[in-house]
Amino acid sequence: MSSVANTGVYYGYAQVVTPSGDSTPMHPKDNKVLPMVMSLGWNPFYKNEKLTAEIHIMHEFDKDFYGFEMRAVVLGYIRPELDYTSREALIDDIEFDKQVALNCLERPEYRKYAQDPHFDLRCNVDTQI
């Protein structure tokens, strides 16, 4: 990831996949393909020392999904990352980013990606690249 040209906020779709053999599978509504925003960069407000990609799926999940596979497709760029002077300003921009993403994903040319074969749960997740 160190060769990323444009850090900042992106939007697209993501899906959380229950690992095979998990004794407490996710509710089917939580396995759906859902809108997301992704921060890609150094997150200067938090003084990160490593380049990170943080995906925020716009959905309330019934349980935590740490350790689960996540599939994502990035469709567009919203803005560059910024170094905020306050946490409140950061939160305000995150809420704005989410609205921009939802508006963009309403376009028919973007909606079709929610049905992309990349998100087909019938594929064996253990053999995915």
6 Cβ contact partners less than 8 Å away, ≥ 6 residues apart: 40, 77, 80
11 Cβ contact partners less than 8 Å away, ≥ 6 residues apart: 35, 36, 37, 38, 74, 75, 76, 78, 97, 100, 101, 104, 105
**CB burial of residue 2 (10 Å; 0-12, 13-18, 19+):** exposed
Structure tokens at 17: 């996949």
- Identify the active-site residue in 49, 54, 81, 106: 54
Query: Is 54 among the catalytic positions?
Result: yes
**CB burial of residue 74 (10 Å; 0-12, 13-18, 19+):** middle
Which residues are known to be catalytic? 54
